[in-house]
Chains A and B, each alone.
Chain A
């Protein structure tokens, strides 16, 4: 019986980590449903971008209020996780504050954790007020109604509870150390320094030791179990960004924003058309005959590249893209954030479909185009790249819009009629307007 808590802890830890691994595998499988694309060039620049944008948060602070609070919460998250390591070791071996042999440095660490816990608490409360009390436009969009809003608030509640448990646990521990309780008190005196939770200790003064131990144990257990639950909540939440921001910034495009990729399948066709020696009646070469003809653009989430699907899972729905989008700001239906959310919804639905049908996707009569993203949204985009510039984690909503436009135009000839006129003009007289190419240099005579 003596080792029961240790065994229970190991079981809980194994379940939490195991379930997380299963979800990660599902996540990676879903991302790999995307088209293959090479993002492995120029590794030094990619590492630099990851260090600057994900680790360094430099795009976050472009909006100083939310940016600085986010940096605090983010630092708190990373730093307090060092303490989780100690909690796990204590949990497995039944020790008490295993790292306390570090002496003065340990006191310093615990003090830093406590201060960050307080800062996180304050930051999260401000975030909650921004989301629920202040009328900040980007948090009021209709794509956030329902689950996305609840999700955002649940994350904040989670963090508040975890920080309160952490501080309660420390306070109870300090109280027990001070009274010299068995297992807690150490020969060297009080271990750890508790600049925040010391103010909670007086609440325990009139309690008997057994009750304080109960509080300490309860806080300790709920805190670590809460962390394991939170870890597994990530996959179902917009909060995945705490993990995916790193690969996403690493794999983000390095080219100038104005450069849109040239479709290779089209290049091959065009070269063939322009080649005077090409035989128009030639049979396709043997090795090509089994290939499925290339589909131009994207009508389904699986037509997008894996990097675009990674983008969708990384999106934390902050809405900076949408608040910068000129189409959105002038009341059009387009919201770049919604493009990312809809893409994630679709690839998730495809993943669930595959799971439910023994690893085979069963036609569900839906696709990304029309059922998740409407044409009206796609045609409202001015390709200005403001959304791409605004994203603090390197997401590119514009590339999805462009791929879907390509499908509409090249597979369905479904461009708005004005655009069809402009394109016909380009084809016939080499300008988007109906002017004769022979008149192109007339301005010369007007100088």
Chain B
């Protein structure tokens, strides 16, 4: 991009007495993890291209509390939730978009009971709406005709019944979508959920991400598409474990759209 993209914070909007169209909730992975940061940047480029007036919380954002809650630490979860809700309500946030299904699920389903009610969208849903409103155009470009399998994040597909939006975006990219046996609400976990991301697995005969990677490889894909930074990490590790990283990429749908548009 010729000119640098400006990512304003809510504080900056507030200082100007304005409020953005949507708050982009970046999440911990999207903020700190090198791989996930690429997804964040790709999504921001798409927002800028579509002319969306968006903002982030920046240093005022903190963990939604999802991993704490799934680990069983309800106390820490609610401390995090109440803190975040106070910030969000302080800025009178109405609409939130996030690229992390865990943040999505927590804010959409578990914050309302604690006083935080917002319209929450997964980034694939938001991108889909931008396209249908004509604010963003997508053509196949470099992905046209490629064999792609989509790994459904549990907290998106099964937990919240969202599995059409990512597939609609892939259709816009004119890819050849090949489904795994276990997909949509019947999808198979990548192994990161329930705070497993942050601990060693229990003893077994295989890691969950290796099993899921094998299921994905059965479809002989050129690319494994993902919609969650944690799934992305797990599938990327699985592909490395199978020594297929030179042949098969693991990409977030936002990254694919941004790359197709040469952003």
Contacts of A184 in B (CB 8 A): none
Interface of A is mostly: helix
The minimal Cβ–Cβ distance linking A397 to chain B, given in whole angstroms, is: 13
| A28 beta carbon closer than 8 Å to chain B | no
Could you tell me which residues of chain B, from 217 to 231, have a CB within 8 Å of some CB in chain A? none
The minimal Cβ–Cβ distance linking A130 to chain B, given in whole angstroms, is: 21
Given contacts A415-B71, A431-B28, contact A383 B194 (CB under 8 A): yes
Which single residue of chain A is at the shortest CB-CB distance from B48? A447
Which single residue of chain B is at the shortest CB-CB distance from A257? B159
| B164 beta carbon closer than 8 Å to chain A | no
Over the window 73-90 of chain B, the binary record of Cβ atoms lying under 8 Å from chain A Cβ atoms (1 yes, 0 no) is 111101110100010000
| B140 beta carbon closer than 8 Å to chain A | no
Which single residue of chain A is at the shortest CB-CB distance from B73? A409
Contact of B59 among A379, A384, A437 (CB under 8 A): A437
On whether the beta carbons of A447 and B206 are closer than 8 Å, the reply is no
Given contacts A431-B63, A447-B5, contact A331 B205 (CB under 8 A): yes
Which single residue of chain A is at the shortest CB-CB distance from B62? A430
The minimal Cβ–Cβ distance linking B184 to chain A, given in whole angstroms, is: 10
Given contacts A259-B109, A440-B61, A446-B41, contact A432 B69 (CB under 8 A): no
On whether the beta carbons of B159 and A440 are closer than 8 Å, the reply is no
Could you tell me which residues of chain A, from 38 to 96, have a CB within 8 Å of some CB in chain B? none
The minimal Cβ–Cβ distance linking B55 to chain A, given in whole angstroms, is: 11
Q: How far apart are the CA atoms of A446 and B45 in the complex, in Å?
A: 12
| B134 beta carbon closer than 8 Å to chain A | no
Contacts of B61 in A (CB 8 A): 430, 440
Q: How far apart are the CA atoms of A435 and B211 in the complex, in Å?
A: 31
| A1 beta carbon closer than 8 Å to chain B | no
Query: Interface segment, A148-156, A278-286, A421-429?
Result: A421-429
Over the window 434-446 of chain A, the binary record of Cβ atoms lying under 8 Å from chain B Cβ atoms (1 yes, 0 no) is 0101111111101
The minimal Cβ–Cβ distance linking B111 to chain A, given in whole angstroms, is: 9
On whether the beta carbons of B32 and A435 are closer than 8 Å, the reply is yes
Query: Interface segment, A117-125, A243-251, A322-330?
Result: A322-330
On whether the beta carbons of B154 and A385 are closer than 8 Å, the reply is yes
Contacts of B86 in A (CB 8 A): 274
The minimal Cβ–Cβ distance linking B140 to chain A, given in whole angstroms, is: 25
On whether the beta carbons of A266 and B195 are closer than 8 Å, the reply is no
The minimal Cβ–Cβ distance linking B31 to chain A, given in whole angstroms, is: 5
Q: How far apart are the CA atoms of A421 and B45 in the complex, in Å?
A: 34
On whether the beta carbons of A422 and B201 are closer than 8 Å, the reply is no
| A381 beta carbon closer than 8 Å to chain B | yes
| A143 beta carbon closer than 8 Å to chain B | no
Contacts of B75 in A (CB 8 A): 266, 269-270, 296, 410
| A178 beta carbon closer than 8 Å to chain B | no
| B7 beta carbon closer than 8 Å to chain A | yes
Q: Give the one of B78, B82, B212 with max A CB within 10 A.
A: B78
On whether the beta carbons of A258 and B45 are closer than 8 Å, the reply is no
Contacts of B204 in A (CB 8 A): 327, 330-333, 380
| A345 beta carbon closer than 8 Å to chain B | no
Contacts of A433 in B (CB 8 A): 28, 32-33
| A305 beta carbon closer than 8 Å to chain B | no
On whether the beta carbons of A447 and B32 are closer than 8 Å, the reply is no
| B249 beta carbon closer than 8 Å to chain A | no
Which single residue of chain B is at the shortest CB-CB distance from A385? B158
The minimal Cβ–Cβ distance linking A253 to chain B, given in whole angstroms, is: 12
Q: How far apart are the CA atoms of A371 and B159 in the complex, in Å?
A: 31
Which single residue of chain B is at the shortest CB-CB distance from A401? B194
Q: How far apart are the CA atoms of A332 and B76 in the complex, in Å?
A: 28
On whether the beta carbons of B74 and A410 are closer than 8 Å, the reply is yes
On whether the beta carbons of B194 and A422 are closer than 8 Å, the reply is no
Which single residue of chain A is at the shortest CB-CB distance from B111? A262
Given contacts A256-B161, A410-B75, contact A330 B207 (CB under 8 A): yes
| A334 beta carbon closer than 8 Å to chain B | yes
| A386 beta carbon closer than 8 Å to chain B | yes
On whether the beta carbons of B202 and A426 are closer than 8 Å, the reply is no
Contacts of B30 in A (CB 8 A): 443
Contact of A330 among B58, B71, B105, B208 (CB under 8 A): B208
On whether the beta carbons of A256 and B199 are closer than 8 Å, the reply is no
| A358 beta carbon closer than 8 Å to chain B | no
Given contacts A383-B193, A386-B158, A441-B31, contact A262 B76 (CB under 8 A): no
On whether the beta carbons of A326 and B211 are closer than 8 Å, the reply is yes
On whether the beta carbons of B72 and A402 are closer than 8 Å, the reply is yes
Can you give 24 contacting A-B residue pairs, CB < 8 Å? A258-B155, A262-B110, A267-B78, A270-B78, A271-B82, A273-B79, A297-B74, A327-B208, A330-B210, A332-B201, A383-B194, A383-B195, A385-B158, A386-B158, A416-B199, A416-B200, A426-B63, A435-B32, A437-B62, A440-B32, A443-B26, A447-B4, A447-B41, A447-B44
- Chain A interface (Cβ within 8 Å of chain B)? 255-260, 262-263, 266-267, 269-271, 273-274, 296-297, 324, 326-327, 329-334, 376, 379-386, 389, 402, 404-410, 415-416, 418-419, 421-423, 426-427, 430-433, 435, 437-444, 446-447
Report the 10 A-B pairs with minimum CB-CB distance, sorted nearest first.
Answer: A258-B159, A405-B72, A430-B62, A383-B194, A331-B205, A331-B204, A259-B109, A384-B189, A422-B198, A409-B72
- Chain B interface (Cβ within 8 Å of chain A)? 4-5, 7, 9, 26, 28, 30-33, 37, 40-41, 44-45, 56, 58-59, 61-63, 65, 67-76, 78-80, 82, 86, 105, 109-110, 113-114, 154-155, 158-161, 185-189, 191-208, 210-212
